A and B are shown apart, each in its own frame.
Chain A
Amino acid sequence: AQTVTQSQPEMSVQEAETVTLSCTYDTSESDYYLFWYKQPPSRQMILVIRQEAYKQQNATENRFSVNFQKAAKSFSLKISDSQLGDAAMYFCAYCTVQGAQKLVFGQGTRLTINP
């Protein structure tokens, strides 16, 4: 079974600076998807970015980018120019392409932005 590990329960960063959240996963599959979700205090789960395992190029979405290292099974999220609205829990998730497209989540990292 696949597992996802986020080793940083909490992180903090100064506003306007850059922060990187770590995620590692374990799988024997060669094709899969990886995601980062954001959960602000409102509790809503918001998709931040996705990465397809067969693509070499790292995904980017505005100030959010990933560093995908397939051989190392690592998938970190970089947030540039941090803003107060980025404060949230961030979850890394793995999705198999087999069957019912189930997600496996990491435990989450709570990100605090210091003004």
Chain B
Amino acid sequence: DAGITQSPRHKVTETGTPVTLRCHQTENHRYMYWYRQDPGHGLRLIHYSYGVKDTDKGEVSDGYSVSRSKTEDFLLTLESATSSQTSVYFCAISGTGTYEQYFGPGTRLTVT
């Protein structure tokens, strides 16, 4: 299994509070991704990174920001959480030229 962890695994927070999710990899892969999973939508890309300090927006980036200061860590921040951001969040990693992505265990976030 690819060495990829996410923290926390579960979180309940209130509307309007900031939330940061962490993804950590031990594979030294270049690419890292954040997805959200909602019923009927599959997985949708929020943001991705193609190197340290190199990030870009995905399909559903509104309300989210990311940072990558080290190869192994990719942070997803909800500046002011809303109920529509209640979801399961997955981090994934991919090596250059391999194309398949390997996923972390996911974080279930509930915004009340």
Contacts and interface: CB of A to CB of B under 8 A. Distances in A.
Interface in A29-61: 33, 35, 43-45, 47, 50
A43 B105 contact: yes
Nearest to A6: B42
Contact of A106 (B31, B42, B101): B42
A106 B40 CA distance: 9
A72 interface: no
B103 A45 contact: yes
A53 B40 CA distance: 27
Contact of A105 (B42, B99, B100): B42
Interface footprint category on A: 20 to 34
Contact of A33 (B48, B100, B106): B100
Contacts, number: 53
Interface residues of B, number: 23
Contact of B99 (A43, A91, A97): A97
A27 B12 CA distance: 39
B88 A102 contact: no
A50 B100 contact: yes
A11 interface: no
Contact of A43 (B33, B100, B101, B106): B106
Nearest to B103: A45
Interface string A64-101: 00000000000000000000000000010001010111
Interface of B: 31, 33, 40-45, 48, 50, 56, 58, 88, 90, 92, 94, 99-103, 105-106
